[in-house]
Amino acid sequence: MERFKGFPARMQFTPLPNPFFSAILPQISDVTELKITLYLLAALYRKRGYPRFISRGELLGNTSLMRSLRQTAEPPAEALTKALEMAIRRGTILHMALDRDGATEDVYFLNTESNRETIARIQSGELSLPGLESEEPSYAETEEQPDIFTLYEENIGMLTPMIAEELKEAEKLYPPAWIKDAVREAVSQNKRKWSYISAILERWSREGRESGTYRRDSKKQDPDKYVKGKYGHMVWR
């Protein structure tokens, strides 16, 4: 085994939910289950879009993960299946088997209230998952800015299906920089709720923005206010 050379001076961190340390880690005795659980937590955190899930095909397609499972007594694919089943029984993750073009595709979610609601919507036909990848897992580059869903979860709170729909609509209506700045404004004012962010975006859309701030006095600042108005043809410069 090659000795680890140490962590670099500048690096990114992947957060883990606090209940993992208090409720899950003390109960795990199988190293493979622990390895898969940690990988799933990290992979799902890096995911973009809504809902966040990972497929069995993605797990099998991850070379480094599958190589690490060669140390087990059974073949890597069987070790993966066993570890996933243990995590499901423990309640760490949620499992769905979907019919994709005649083939069954297993997908996994983190066991949260939001994801339980999401699965119920999928099962009822109210929500459909985006296309599943069966090759390499999808990761964001380290320099990539967080998407709107990650931005909301990291700064405002839990992402519910209803909020996710609101965010999707906001993406269609406003520039990404506006949404990011509106979230920052809400955090600075300690108004961590979507209604406050939405009100900011609506105001910017209505009144415009200038240098990243509200243009509250935009009408007063416009020298052509009256020329552009209904009776502009009657105004002399």
Same domain as 157, residue 108: no
> Is residue 2 assigned to a domain?
no
237 pLDDT band (50/70/90 cuts)? very low
pLDDT at 144 over 90: no
Same domain as 179, residue 88: no
Mean pLDDT of all residues belonging to the chain: 80
Q: How, if at all, do strands 54-55 and 93-100 pair? A: unpaired
222 pLDDT band (50/70/90 cuts)? low
User: The domain containing residue 207 runs over which residues?
Assistant: 148-219
Same domain as 193, residue 106: no
User: Between 176-188 and 194-207, two packed helices, what is the crossing angle to 10 degrees?
Assistant: 130
State the CATH number of the domain containing residue 206: 1.10.10.630
Determine the residue type at 102: G
131 pLDDT band (50/70/90 cuts)? low
Same domain as 96, residue 28: yes
Mean pLDDT of 160-183: 86
Largest CA distance in the chain: 90
Same domain as 38, residue 104: yes
> Is residue 60 assigned to a domain?
yes
Same domain as 111, residue 22: yes
> Is residue 7 assigned to a domain?
no
Same domain as 214, residue 175: yes
State the CATH number of the domain containing residue 41: 1.10.10.10
pLDDT at 143 over 90: no
> Is residue 198 assigned to a domain?
yes
CA-to-CA dists, residue 102 to 60, 98, 105, 118, 145, angstroms:
20, 9, 10, 23, 37
Between 222 and 120, whose confidence is greater?
Answer: 120
pLDDT at 185 over 60: yes
Q: What is the pLDDT of residues 4-50, one digit of tens each?
A: 889 888 777 888 999 999 999 999 999 999 999 999 999 998 887 78
Do residues 97 and 103 make contact, with C-beta atoms less than 8 angstroms apart? no
> Is residue 186 assigned to a domain?
yes
Q: What is the reported pLDDT for 130?
A: 65
Q: How many domains does the chain have?
A: 2
Closest listed residue to residue 237, CA positions, set 220, 224, 221, 222: 224
163 pLDDT band (50/70/90 cuts)? confident
pLDDT at 172 over 80: yes
> Is residue 139 assigned to a domain?
no
Same domain as 171, residue 110: no
Q: Which of 70-84, 107-121, 142-156, 219-233 has the lowest mean pLDDT?
A: 219-233
219 pLDDT band (50/70/90 cuts)? very low
Same domain as 192, residue 110: no
> Is residue 229 assigned to a domain?
no
